[in-house]
Structures are given as structure tokens and as C-alpha cells.
Chain A
Amino acid sequence: MIKYIFRRLIGLIPLLLGITIITFAVIHLAPGKPTDMETQFNPKVSMEARERMMTLYGLDKPIHIQYKDWLIRLLHLDFGISFVDSRPVMKKILERIPVTLGINLASIILILLIGIPIGVSSAVREGGFYDRSMTVFVFVGFAIPTFWLSLILMDLVGVRWGILPVSGIKSLEFEQFGFFEKIFDIARHLVLPVFVSAFGGLAGISRYMRSNMTNVLKQDYIRTARAKGLREKDVIYKHGLKNALLPVVTILGLSVPGLIGGSVIFESIFSIPGMGRLFYESVMTRDYPVIMGVLVIGASLTLLGNLLADVSYAAVDPRIKYE
């Protein structure tokens, strides 16, 4: 097992290298220079000052040298310094990661808690009224645009009914609250964002779970279990569910990039200070080091997610040999 994990880790190296090359290419193929923002519309800045700024950021060197320098710094976990506020990129990203990761974890848990039971109960009643209404629900979940759902909920729940706050992750008076009030306050702020980010994924997982479960229920070992007189409950939950659950692990790993990507939309709508909003802001100000940092870290998180999924799959499923 340890050997398997080690080999997988080695296999990640070319992928990580590829990620950095694509990120670097994307940012540098685009026309326009980061120094434009600060100097172009400011007649007081001389050519000389502009060139000094170019040298400072290393933008005057040939592109492969820039890449090499950047990669070497990357190995020291140094992502450079933000063009906008001169703070280290790594620090800026680390501040934002817990928020985004927290919301995504909460929504993954919500998705599993609701999606799996829906999938299983649809599969058991395949073709019935319940199954068909759940299919409709799933298609609605797939098709509804996240930002539209966010806006509607914001308008109804937040503005018209005034039940929940619609922006940020804490109230203005946050500092004066006691410990439990603080937790409650953050929770209240996160209800809508978590719900919105879970809604689309819910449809996917329950659909996937349903098709797994219907396949499993057609297997010979289920017939055997029924034939030897087990209760239907045991057949479904002990023999069926266990086998149908396995592939969900892989799907969870694969859904990481989608979740992270989706965070741009709901974080900017609900003004949540997470990685998505940081990315949106830095794209708008052409803050190259931050853009590159978020891209590299976002993609690496995906790699890590997939690795975790594969390893835990191999750990739970005795049929998989990892030699």
C-alpha cells in the first residue's frame, strides 16, 4: 500500500510540471503588461520609471528565463508578491483557502447526506412515481444556473423575508459576540452559499448513485441474497448499498475542480472572501502572480483530491490490487 502511494506521488510530478507550464503560457500569451495598469493612464510616470518596474517584476527577461525563475521559486513555495498590494501571494491565498474549502466541504457533506438516500430510494422504486419525480428534480438541478438561483434566494430569503444575511461571512458586530454567537453568526451567513453550491452537485450524485444501485440490484449476488431468505432491508443496505457506494468515491475526487471553479460565481455574488473571489479580483486587476498562484494551487488541489479518492478506493475495495 505504501509502495502504491509512493508510486502515485512520483507519477504526480510530470502532471504538476504540466500544470505550471500551461498556467505560465496562459498568462504570458495574453497581450498587455501588468505594469500597464499602474502606468498607462498616468502621464506623470516616465518611461524610465516604467522600465524600472518591469525590471523589478522580472518582465524584461526572455520568457523561458522567467519561467525557470518562477519554477525555482515555486519549489520553495514562494509564489511571488502581489502586484496590487505587495503582499506575498502565498499568504493571500492561504488566508482565503479555509473559507472556500470549508464551504465546499460543507456542501460535499450535504450532497452525500441527501444525494445518496435519494439515489438509493429511486433505484429501489425504479420506474415508480417517486423515481420519476426524482428524475425531474435531478434535471432541474442540472439545468438551473447557479448565479440565477443565488439571486432568487438572495431576493426572497434575504431581502423580501429578511430571514438570512446575504453578504459576507460575518456581521458588522461580530467582534462583540460571544463564542457561540460567533459560530451561529458564521453559520447563518453560510446557509445560502452552501445550499447554492450543493444544489447542482446534489443532482449529479443522486443520479449517479441511482444508476449504480440499479446495476448492483441486478447482480447475481443480490438474487442469491434474496434466495437465501434475507430480509429485503438487509439485501438492499448490506449487500447492495456497500457495493454501489464504492464508485462514488471516485466521482467525489473528480468533482473537486468543478466545485472550486463554481466558487467564483457564488463567492462574488454573496461577497464571500474566498479563493474564487480572490481570483476574480486578481483577474480584474491583472495581478499575474496571484492568478498564477491560484491556478497552480487549484489544479494541485484537484490532483490531491483524485489521489485521495484513488487511494481510499484501493483501501476499501479488496478486489483492487495495487501492485
Chain B
Amino acid sequence: MNKLMIFGFSIVLFFAIIAIFAPFVATHDPGKIDIENILTGPSKEHVLGTDSLGRDLFSRMVFGTRISLMVGFIAVGIAALIGIALGSIAGYYGKWVDLIIMRFVDIMLCFPTFFLILAVIALLEPSIINIMIIIGITSWMGVARLIRAEILSLKERDFIYAEKAIGASDFRIITRHLIPNAMAPVLVSITLGIAAAILVESSLSFLGIGVQPPTPSWGNILSEGKSVMGAAWWMMLFPGLAIFITVLGYNLLGEGIRERLLKT
């Protein structure tokens, strides 16, 4: 399993480097239109071919990496913040606070998440920031449940009683002692969550209500690829592969971390 985890980590690292150094990796200006080279296949000049406006597909995908990873990270960051906050409050205070928060979690879990995201995105403006926020506020429930379960068992431990005895505030106990000790399963959930968020963003962009052109994202390149499916296979193959490999990377990394944590 460790080999798979290293494989996953390499993929994650590889795409992270591409995203950070996008301007240096790209061979062309991703927005430069060249009507003399419309939909040309992979060649020496254009490694992965060009799109229907003659833009270089490779460079567009390189900048698309930035968008996809950014959406994944920030969306999951928001989800983790909400989940950790609500989960730890529910777990620590218990009683009716716990009851209300966990009922809220149950209700949120009933909705087909993709429906909820679709509705909000289409009613608001489909900007990148809106997408990140909405994916974030519809995917925190798993984290909340995990944190709560951990804290329920942690708060009965001696070191927490000791903290209480020396008069530490609730806030200090939760943020300094409980959350750090409950983070292990959350880490797994966050890693897998990034993969899921990248998938959701690309699905939305594919349906035309995600990242809007001309900003390149893997999903909206694929959406364009659909309309030129018969004429330009590269427009469909490469962005799909990029999404697939990235998601695979985060999933493998997440599973690897899980196995490690369970064994020790």
C-alpha cells in the first residue's frame, strides 16, 4: 500500500508544481487566439494541439491546473473550518447544542449535494469565488461528524480534566487540546475532499455553470471538447486525463494516510 501512497503523493506534488510555476511551464499565452491554427492536432509547436480558437491546449491546461487546484483547496478549507468549528462545539458541549447541530448535519446530508450546488450557483453568478464558497458550505458534514466523535471520547480523558482543574477556558481546551488531538481522521477526510471538490468543479464547468470562459479550467475545456468531439480527440482526451490523474493522486494519498494512521 505504501507504494501506492508514494505514487499518489508524487502525482499531487507534480500538479502542485505545475500550478505554482504555471507561467514558466506554459509554452504559449493561454489566451492568445490564432485563427490560422484552429483545431490542429498535437505537433512540435503545440504539444497537445490547439482548440477551436487556435489557442494552445497545453498552456490552457497548465493554467487550468491552477484553477482546479485552487478551487479544490479553498473549498475544502472552508468545509474543514465549518466542520471543525461545528463538530467540536457539538462534541464538547453536548446536550441540546449537540442535538441541534447534529440534526442540522442530518438535514444537510439528505440533500443530493450536487442539486443544492447547482441551484445556488445558477441563481448566484457562477464566479470562481462563489463556486469555492458553495462547494465549501455543502461538504463540511463529514468533517463535523468525525471531529465530534473524536472529541466525545477525548473529553473524558485525564489531561482534559487536568486542564479544567487549572482553570483553562473552554475555548482554550477546544482549540489547543481537543482539536489538535482529533485531527488525524480529519486529515484523511480533507485529502479525499480535495479530490471530490475538483470533480464537482469540473462537472459544473462542464455543464457550463462553473468557471466561465475565457478563464481556462479542465472542466470548461472538456465542455468545449464535447462540441468538437468528432473533429478533435485531443480536446476531450487530455483534460479528462488530467482530472482523472489528479483525483486518483489525492485519493491514493488519502487512503495511504488512512492506513498509516490506523496501523499506528
By a beta-carbon cutoff of 8 Å, the part of chain A in contact with chain B is: 14-15, 18-19, 22, 26-27, 30-32, 135, 139-140, 142-148, 151-152, 154-155, 159, 257-258, 260-262, 264-265, 268, 279-280, 283-284, 286, 291, 294-295, 298-300, 302-303
Contacts and interface: CB of A to CB of B under 8 A. Distances in A.
A220 to B, nearest CB: 21
Of A283, A284, A294, A302, which is in contact with the most chain B CB atoms at under 10 Å from its CB? Answer: A283
Contact of A152 (B103, B113, B236): B236
B219 to A, nearest CB: 8
B162 interface: no
B71 to A, nearest CB: 14
25 contacts: A15-B107, A15-B110, A18-B107, A19-B107, A22-B111, A26-B116, A26-B123, A142-B251, A145-B199, A145-B244, A145-B247, A151-B226, A152-B240, A155-B233, A257-B113, A258-B112, A260-B115, A261-B113, A265-B114, A268-B207, A283-B119, A286-B122, A286-B123, A302-B112, A303-B110
A294 B230 CA distance: 35
B34 interface: no
A242 to B, nearest CB: 26
B53 interface: no
Contact of A264 (B111, B115, B124, B225): B115
Contact of B203 (A22, A139, A265, A295): A265
A264 B226 contact: no
Nearest to A285: B122
B261 interface: no
A151 B120 contact: no
B123 A27 contact: yes
Contact of B248 (A139, A151, A284): A139
Contacts, number: 130
B108 A139 contact: no
A268 B122 CA distance: 16
Nearest to A257: B112
A259 to B, nearest CB: 8
A299 to B, nearest CB: 4
B104 interface: yes
A37 to B, nearest CB: 12
B109 A257 contact: yes
A287 to B, nearest CB: 11
Contacts of A26: 116, 119-120, 123
A148 B240 contact: yes
A143 B222 contact: no
A280 B114 contact: no
